[in-house]
Structure 1
Amino acid sequence: MSLLEYFYDTLTDHFTTPATVADAPHIYEMSMAAEAIRTISAMPGQKLTADCRVYIGGRRASPFEGKRFIDLIAKYRDLSCVPWHDLTKGAPFLIFVNKASLFSEAMDIATRGMLGKFCDQFEPEGVSIEHHVIIGQYAETDFGVHVDDPADRVFHFNLGPVGKEMILWPREPFIERYGTNPTRPLGETDLEGSARYEMPVGSCFFLPADYYHVGRSPEGVSVVVAIALSRQSSEEQLAAVHREIKNAIAPIEDLTPYWTNFRRAPTEAQQKNICAAFARHDYAGWLQHARARARSNGWISEVRPLGAPDIPPGEFDLTISAEAPPQVVSAGHVLHVYARGQHIALTDEGAISWTRSLLAGDPVRLSQEEVLAGIEKRNAQMLVAAWFLATGGATADPASVLETAQ
């Protein structure tokens, strides 16, 4: 039984009430949070990415100040070596990273191993998984007493080095007491009716959606990896469809001339293309694309950047990944393929036939020399093979010595 299955009651289709599991089985490590910090520090520019927020002394740092703070932390070998008190001059602080697996490949791999097939039961709408890293020492988080989105269920893994705690209030009584917009500082909140949950090092705390809550780490710096598991509500699905349409339409018009000519307008041909693009993007059709993209990435909302393909030397068998099987959407003469959240649209008939055979489970014998030569010549099938290897949608398994000899 996975940790998520432990908290989920399949008889009632409901997650359990708030609970802490000591020594929770998971494979998150402090090094993953450190990797995220180093990756954010290495990003170009002097401004902090919008996915990372820094609060020092109860004040949110500017993007420039926040980036300098992250850069200082990244200089240390690991987070246990950071002189937090010196860097903050003893002030409370909080670092909150959204979409954290974009900045830590090890974290992404760990989550996929923990999830297994748990999320498949929520088809066809599906779920989304988002990672957060929370680092700091604070009497209360800078978000105050608040409630999460009703579709969210959040799992907090405390990696240490000290314990922290969560204080919870049931949602309905809290709203009755403080009104429809009750988010407030802890000091202005009555503790009557609340419950305190300890989060010792190595534990997992499960936070349901219908509780107002505030986190505390007053005894020292704690490092937490939090996993937000969310149902795909109609609003979330609509947002996903909008992202798909934006991805499809964005390349049609070059916006560069607007820098110098505000009256500039698309050419007649461009305008026809834009109108045609809007006309063909029916929401029901693009919902299939949004779901295929999410499903191909194991329902993890963070889509990691596409790197260079790892093409092994010699011969190998290209085989579709069983861990993250690609998804397909057919639209007329175009075959849309999604793997690990990445997308490719195939129009070449030979490449489509070749891809369908591969997706059907038929391994393809290739060699490094063949793939590299095909890429150089822009061969459609070899470009698709390289794309599958780059996304992780397919693996390069060593060719059998006996078969190779034959």
Structure 2
Amino acid sequence: MSRPVFAAQGAERSTAEVTLFMGDYGYTPFGIHLDDPFTSVVHCHFGPAVKTMTLFNIEEFHRLNGKSKNCFEPSLLIPFGKTYAIRPGDIFLLPPHYYHVGHTDGFSIGIAVAISKYPEASTTQRLLQHAIADSDLSGGIAQVIERAEKDGLSFASWLRAAHRKHLAQAESRGRLRYSPRLGYRQNAISKDALWLPDPDFPITCSEHAGHLSLFARGHQIRMKKSPVIYKLLEKCRQSPASINDLHRIFEKNVFIRD
């Protein structure tokens, strides 16, 4: 659903986030709040109860609530906002730049799809934050400078490499804002079970001097460059494969634990 939107606004600057709302929770737990200014949210409501969404423009909200950016007693301000009823089957587009709070009196289920488009400057700032965890930039300032000069690492070359990793990671998780944290029970999966490539979440690769950064659903594995790794990556990307299939690529050099 989000691919055409990403293509129109620029995939490199875009993310999506999907949130499930389920229960008879009364007001949204976040209280009256404001989303980031680069995000629009589409609410798909399934019912059975009606859900309401109350909006406040920024100036009116702060006139009523002071400087605080949240109000956890929404009932005090609801009469001053504009309330919309979202019935089962409705789709509600929540624009940015409005304080808002949802409410349901009965059990209801809804899905919110948040689409963000960040300015180029914001994307660059996020890239620069990767320097904090980069092993090439760890240690004292003298060590970092000496290592960079020895390896011929310039700021421009580091930024290009960080940009490649950013693009590979974003593509591998389907441009979702966050990487999924769902695990699996290792012993419950047969070594002959086929793993199917998912075109929406491809395994991606970012190449660097001496190593590869592989990404699966946003999670990174760093590996040394090797012909075997390239064969393994090609197999995983192009066709269904079992653990035993992948083991054969390693030519018995890797032991499979029972």
Same fold (TM over 0.5): yes
In the TM superposition, residue 293 of structure 1 has moved relative to its aligned partner by: 0.4
RMSD: 4.4
Distance 1:241 1:128, change over 3 A: farther
C-alpha distance in 1 between matches for 2:67 and 2:88: 35
Query: What is the correspondence of 1:101-140 to structure 2 with a 5 Å cutoff?
Result: 114-123=1-10, 125-137=12-24, 140=27
In the TM superposition, residue 140 of structure 1 has moved relative to its aligned partner by: 3.4
The one-letter code sitting in structure 2 at the alignment partner of 1:328 is C
In the TM superposition, residue 166 of structure 1 has moved relative to its aligned partner by: 0.4
Equivalent of residue 231 in structure 1, options 93, 113, 117 = 117
Distance 1:329 1:182, change over 3 A: closer
C-alpha distance in 1 between matches for 2:227 and 2:69: 60
The one-letter code sitting in structure 2 at the alignment partner of 1:347 is K
Distance 1:222 1:304, change over 3 A: same
C-alpha distance in 2 between matches for 1:171 and 1:151: 15
The one-letter code sitting in structure 2 at the alignment partner of 1:186 is P
In the TM superposition, residue 300 of structure 1 has moved relative to its aligned partner by: 1.1
Whether the 8 Å contact between 2:197 and 2:239 is mirrored in structure 1 is no
Whether the 8 Å contact between 1:244 and 1:289 is mirrored in structure 2 is no
In the TM superposition, residue 336 of structure 1 has moved relative to its aligned partner by: 2.3
* Structure 2 equivalent of residue 333 of structure 1: 210
Question: Could you tell me the TM-score, scaled by structure 1's length?
Answer: 0.47
Please state if 1:189 is matched with 2:77.
yes
Whether the 8 Å contact between 1:320 and 1:358 is mirrored in structure 2 is no
In the TM superposition, residue 347 of structure 1 has moved relative to its aligned partner by: 2.2
Distance 1:290 1:164, change over 3 A: same
Deviations 1:285-310 (A, max 9, x none): 32331232012211112323464596
Q: Percent identity?
A: 21
C-alpha distance in 2 between matches for 1:367 and 1:141: 44
The one-letter code sitting in structure 1 at the alignment partner of 2:176 is I
In the TM superposition, residue 190 of structure 1 has moved relative to its aligned partner by: 7.0
In the TM superposition, residue 209 of structure 1 has moved relative to its aligned partner by: 1.0
SS of residue matched to 2:179: coil
Whether the 8 Å contact between 1:338 and 1:344 is mirrored in structure 2 is yes
* Structure 2 equivalent of residue 348 of structure 1: 225
Distance 1:296 1:241, change over 3 A: farther
Query: What is the correspondence of 1:65-144 to structure 2 with a 5 Å cutoff?
Result: 114-123=1-10, 125-137=12-24, 140-144=27-31
* Structure 2 equivalent of residue 296 of structure 1: 172
Distance 1:358 1:135, change over 3 A: closer
C-alpha distance in 1 between matches for 2:242 and 2:32: 58
Deviations 1:191-213 (A, max 9, x none): 45x43211112333221111111
SS of residue matched to 2:161: helix
* Structure 2 equivalent of residue 167 of structure 1: 54
The one-letter code sitting in structure 2 at the alignment partner of 1:298 is G
C-alpha distance in 1 between matches for 2:242 and 2:122: 46
C-alpha distance in 1 between matches for 2:174 and 2:33: 29
C-alpha distance in 2 between matches for 1:299 and 1:133: 18
Distance 1:179 1:332, change over 3 A: same
Distance 1:190 1:322, change over 3 A: closer
Deviations 1:174-221 (A, max 9, x none): 4566655464343443745x4321111233322111111121213x13
SS of residue matched to 1:351: helix
Structure 1 gaps of 5+ residues are 1-113, 254-265, 383-406
**How many residues align structurally?**
243
